[in-house]
Structure 1
Amino acid sequence: MTELSLFEKTSSYNGVYMTLMVNRMQMLYFAIIMPVFLIYPYMIWMIIIVGALSQISIFMLSKWFTSKYASSGYEGFVDLFGEPMVRLLSFIGIGFILLKVTVITLGYVEVVQQFIFPSLNTNWMILFILLICWYVASLGMDSTIRFIVIAFLFTAPMLLLLLKFPFQPYATIHDLFPLIPYEWTMKSWKSVLFIWSAFSGPEYLVLLAPWFNTRAKILKYMTIGNAFTVFEYVFIFIASLFFFGSHYLGEIKLPVVEMIRYLNFPVFERIDIIFISVYLFHFVFAISIFLLLFYGAIRITLKKSKVQTTRSGFALCCFIFILCLMLLNEWLWKKATNQNILLELEIWAGALTYLFVPLLLFISFKRKVRD
């Protein structure tokens, strides 16, 4: 078995990387389907309020980054929780990671099939994307973290494509009314839950703490990333309301891509193809990070964390990953009702991890320090 240094730390990264990673981890598949789940204009306020509440989780995560346990990586978690509990949490984390990657990968593949390759088998697209992620992840955690710069520079400017919609002749200020709800229903609460889940993602970054060296100002950098996410979600939602109106918005499955389809430029006719293709950088970064975390969680669960990583072990892990996604695609995602079940599970899973992971870490190390 050939050795492979996947988790070797060769350099430390400053807070700018943390800003970019917080923002991009919060802007995955849910950013594309978000307007469908919100619909009502008063959800603009909910995005801002939930974004402010998200700052509480960001604050607790930043406290973890500044603790002495964070820089120790795996050993820090063992000191805090004990090895049996760390192995149990890793085993649970495998399921959460697999669910998240399943939803974002199959969701993106569905977008590609609907707008670019309608006749191509989705399993081939899954294989193609995961082989790219396999290559990126095989370069190690250091190189994968650096890839965030490419992912951000290619995908964040895509937001500028939506600038045109609020200034169209058909866009009126009445599309943003009512800003205060006439009634509050169970559907409204589900929308709030969806927003909270959409802000999840930064909780997985606690596992990357040894690779970051800016601990004193980590809260500032994480806050900037979270604030930019709030701005992006609000802007996307307002653009969707101006283009579709709240009455029609709920009927569109992929409103962001559908809006971009209507854009025409003298040089490029199909801007949506460029948008979807460029967004692959974003998903490759996120899936590659989760693939490394998946491999690490399996190693910890099997008590192999102190054994050198190998190419055959990582290849086997990637093969299991690809096989699981293909099976879930065939058995669940291709059926609309089962697809909704997976989305519901991911909404709840993201909401739970973003609430309890920062809370658990914050309470645990504060109690440890006090003792």
Structure 2
Amino acid sequence: MKQTLTEDEDVLHALFEACKSLGIDLKDAASKSGLPAKLLTLPNHFVPSHLLNYLLENIAKKYHCQDFALHLANKLQTPELGLPTTVMSLSSDFKTGLEHASHYSAYYQDTGYWRHEICDEQVTLVKSANSLSSKYYRQRNLLGTAQMFLLLNTLSSHLWQPKKVCFSFSDPGANFSDTFHEFFDCELIFDQPNDSISFPADYLEFSISSSDPMLLRSMEVHIRGLQEELLQGRDVVERARLLIDERLRFSHCSEEELAFYMKLSTAELRSELGQANTNFKQLVEQQISDRAAFYTERCHVPMDIVLSSLMPYDEDRLYELLKEREKDPTEPTLRQDDIIRGGISKPPSTH
């Protein structure tokens, strides 16, 4: 019987398999990248972290493998994009699935959340854009796009036909372009504002073979209960911190995204945080410094890697934050230690 792995275990297992298929020793690659070998035995800490982003980029560069994320995606047992895609897989059809998934955007295990647009008989799934993903976390970003592509194909029992896929980064060129075209098998457009996948609107009515209305209802009750338990009695600042940290597990969180997750306009978010004598920049920097402390103190990752992984655009600023933290140290409070460790979990099957 095929072993059932958790999402994080599956990604780490696929990483080992992808490296093996390319003749790369993952443990050696991690060691040469400066990461502690023990991280490769801690999927719940390593996979939902910037440290995986860092390693993927290092492997792509060191081994001249700009399509590495596609090899990784091909080794996964199933697409591991988190809660929204699990909800999609239990829905009756593509349209219902996309609408249900939009309620849980903060929980995408990807560098950004996905939203769908319908125009001129075409559906476009668009990932929220950010310069960090396209410039610094390209492989993690590509891995997410590849998994969404595979998910749609899986949900349609491999009968779905995409129209085009767009990327927020440049064409990798050389033989890598061939790998991209072989994987996606449709029109590819690079250097776009967003990463996106487009397909004919006819597929919105396509029935999903894994549909399970009873389990879907059970799951949504489960999710609401966990959210209430987590957020009950917390003020706007505490809720903002939790959502920021959820997103920082994979990449970043912008002010616009936080407002979207909290169902507020950006102006409303600024006003509410202002009334609490804080602002988005202060909150996100606090959560980034908490995460940096977690990586250095708990995971024993070298400081230079922590700085370049978490704030590659301003390493000096993160160093300043950590020096300030030394004056008044606090214990890192991240989702790894929260009541829904590793993100909201799936409910047990009703079968």
Q: TM-score range by the shorter chain?
A: under 0.3
Higher helix fraction (1 or 2): 1
Structure with greater contact order relative to length (CA < 8 Å, sep ≥ 6): 1
Q: Give the alignment's TM-score, normalised by structure 2.
A: 0.25
Higher strand fraction (1 or 2): 2
TM-score with structure 1 setting the length = 0.24
